[in-house]
């Protein structure tokens, strides 16, 4: 051991005598540490991956991946510390000892590392565990959870840095509370949308892919995104509608995709008073059966209903009640039903009367 130390001191003295002196020594220590730590890192992660391959879960794979992504930064930081601490250990940077500067840098690094590992754990939970549970939280919530987790971790890291610098944390936290109150008042609407978004993601009155109507028929379409501030809807015409989450949470929402995407549709037809109702009903039943046989968008779980409905001013009204697979299917189904009924009425000489108004003139 004494011989090894003597040998190292000899190398250090030799490097100090070279051009550049201590700077050359620092560079040599840095590159030697970088190579040594790099070899150790490769062997370490190779061993970890070998053990991870023997497990059935991806948990360890995600954690190893997050650790390996920061290994190079750790090696550079550690090598710089070994090099500078060995050569310029007593130096001051802005009045702070070099060792204190590296302590803060290591705190920041490990804060970032903890955040990466936490995100890896959340990612694993969302992929492997959550689908097996009956939790109401889904993958849409995870981006929000990651952001909140990251904020908590980085705030904790900042507090540790301030404590290391000798700054009183109590007044700082009190100041944050006052500043937070001021920000909350200034961003009241934004925060309202944020918490409404959390409610929508948790309670799931709507979810991505649902076809919904928000109060008016104009606000109708497929849900494309539920963000932290607003919900985006794409209409059938291809236009986009952005609704603030707070407004959406307070609105009456018609969700055509829940609890089942199938829905009942009523189609109304009229025939003249001269037509026999039983004959008209029979023709309509035949049309319904024929269209249902060839149209997959008409649900076979529901038995269609055809009936004489009511007396109108100039015609008798009939109603066909069918079930369709999704809300948007109704347009194509209605078109086919209307075509079939029109042709059947024309073939069987069933009159579809025009509106008639009779005017009596008194002399």
**Which of 255, 282, 297 is where one domain is finished?**
255
Those residues whose C-beta lies under 8 Å from the C-beta of residue 114, and which sit 6 or more positions away, are: 153, 157
Q: The domain that contains 290 carries what CATH number?
A: 3.30.70.100
Distance between CA atoms of residues 125 and 63, nearest Å: 12
Sequential DSSP letters for 194-251: HHHHHHHHHH-SS-TT-EEEESSTTSEEEEEEE-SSEEEEE-TTS-EEEEEHHHHHHS
Statement to judge: residues 249 and 267 lie in one domain: no
At residue 321, the pLDDT reads: 93
Those residues whose C-beta lies under 8 Å from the C-beta of residue 117, and which sit 6 or more positions away, are: 63, 66, 67
Query: Facing residues of 244 across strands?
Result: 230
At residue 287, the pLDDT reads: 92
Yes or no: say if 300 and 292 are a contact pair by the CB < 8 Å rule: yes
Residue 121 lies in a domain: yes
At residue 174, the pLDDT reads: 63
**Which of 149, 166, 183 is where one domain is finished?**
166
Those residues whose C-beta lies under 8 Å from the C-beta of residue 25, and which sit 6 or more positions away, are: 12, 15, 16, 86, 87
Q: What is the pLDDT along the chain (363 residues), one digit of tens a residue?
A: 455 345 545 655 655 555 556 777 778 778 888 898 889 988 988 888 888 788 877 888 888 888 888 888 988 888 888 888 777 766 666 666 777 888 888 888 899 899 888 888 888 877 777 666 655 555 556 666 777 788 888 888 888 888 777 776 666 666 666 666 665 555 566 667 676 777 776 667 788 888 888 887 778 888 888 877 788 888 888 888 888 888 887 888 888 877 777 888 889 999 999 899 999 999 999 999 999 888 888 888 888 899 999 998 889 999 999 988 888 888 889 999 999 999 999 999 988 887 766 676 776
At residue 345, the pLDDT reads: 92
Q: The domain that contains 244 carries what CATH number?
A: 2.30.30.60
At residue 200, the pLDDT reads: 72
Sheet holding 253-255, edge to edge: 240-244, 230-234, 220-226, 211-214, 253-255
User: Can you read off the two tokens belonging to residue 283?
Assistant: 């023709």
**Which of 115, 147, 166 is where one domain is finished?**
166
Residue 353 lies in a domain: no
At residue 363, the pLDDT reads: 66
Statement to judge: residues 112 and 211 lie in one domain: no
Please give the tally of structural domains in the chain. Answer: 3
Helix/strand/coil for 151:
helix
At residue 135, the pLDDT reads: 54
Reported as half-sphere exposure (CB side, CA atoms, 13 A), residue 269 has a value of 30
User: Can you read off the two tokens belonging to residue 55?
Assistant: 């497990």
Yes or no: say if 312 and 355 are a contact pair by the CB < 8 Å rule: no
Residue 139 lies in a domain: yes
Q: Which of 281, 277, 267, 279 is nearest to 319 (CA)?
A: 267
Measured distance between the N- and C-terminal CA atoms of the chain, rounded to whole angstroms: 135
- Residue-wise over 249-275: b if at least 16 C-beta within 10 A, else e? beeebebbbeeebbbebebebbbeeeb
Statement to judge: residues 162 and 25 lie in one domain: yes
Statement to judge: residues 160 and 268 lie in one domain: no
Q: Which of 173, 68, 158 is nearest to 111 (CA)?
A: 158
Torsion of CA 261, 266, 267, 271, to 10 degrees: 170
Residue 14 lies in a domain: no
Q: Do you find a cis peptide bond into 194, omega within 30 degrees of 0? A: no
Residue 2 lies in a domain: no
The domain of 129 spans: 20-166
Yes or no: say if 304 and 342 are a contact pair by the CB < 8 Å rule: no
Residue 360 lies in a domain: no
At residue 5, the pLDDT reads: 43
Residue 136: Cβ-neighbour burial (10 angstroms; 0-12, 13-18, 19+): exposed
């Amino acid at each position: 051991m004494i011989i090894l130390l003597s040998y190292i001191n000899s190398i250090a003295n030799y490097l100090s005598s070279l051009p550049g002196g201590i700077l050359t020594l620092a560079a040599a220590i840095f590159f030697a540490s970088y190579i040594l730590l790099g070899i150790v890192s490769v062997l370490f992660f190779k061993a970890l991956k070998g053990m991870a391959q023997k497990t059935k879960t991806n948990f360890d794979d995600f954690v190893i991946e997050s650790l390996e992504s920061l290994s190079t930064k750790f090696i550079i930081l550690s090598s710089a510390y070994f090099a500078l601490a060995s050569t310029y250990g007593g130096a001051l940077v802005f009045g702070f000892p070099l060792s204190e500067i590296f302590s803060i840098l290591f705190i920041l690094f490990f804060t970032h590392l903890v955040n990466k590992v936490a995100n890896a754990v959340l990612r694993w939970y969302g992929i492997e565990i959550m689908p097996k549970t009956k939790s109401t939280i889904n993958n849409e919530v995870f981006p929000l959870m990651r952001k909140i987790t990251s904020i908590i971790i980085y705030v904790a890291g900042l507090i540790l840095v301030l404590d290391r610098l000798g700054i009183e944390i109590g007044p700082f936290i009190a100041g944050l509370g006052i500043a937070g109150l001021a920000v909350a008042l200034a961003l009241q609407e934004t925060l309202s949308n944020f918490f409404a978004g959390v409610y929508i993601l948790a309670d799931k009155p709507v979810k991505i892919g649902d076809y919904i109507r928000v109060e008016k028929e104009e606000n109708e379409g497929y849900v494309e995104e539920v963000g932290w501030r607003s919900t985006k809807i794409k209409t059938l015409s291809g236009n986009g509608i952005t609704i603030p989450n707070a407004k959406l949470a307070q609105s009456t929402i018609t969700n055509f995709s829940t609890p089942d995407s199938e829905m009942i549709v009523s189609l109304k037809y009229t025939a003249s008073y001269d037509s026999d109702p039983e004959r008209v009903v029979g023709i309509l039943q035949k049309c319904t059966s024929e269209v249902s046989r060839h149209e997959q968008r008409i649900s076979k779980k529901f038995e269609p209903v055809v009936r004489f409905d009511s007396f109108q001013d100039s015609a008798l009204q009939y109603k066909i009640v069918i079930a369709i697979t999704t809300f948007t299917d109704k347009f194509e189904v209605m078109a086919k039903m209307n075509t079939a009924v029109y042709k059947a009425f024309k073939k069987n000489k069933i009159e579809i009367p025009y509106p008639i108004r009779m005017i009596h003139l008194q002399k």
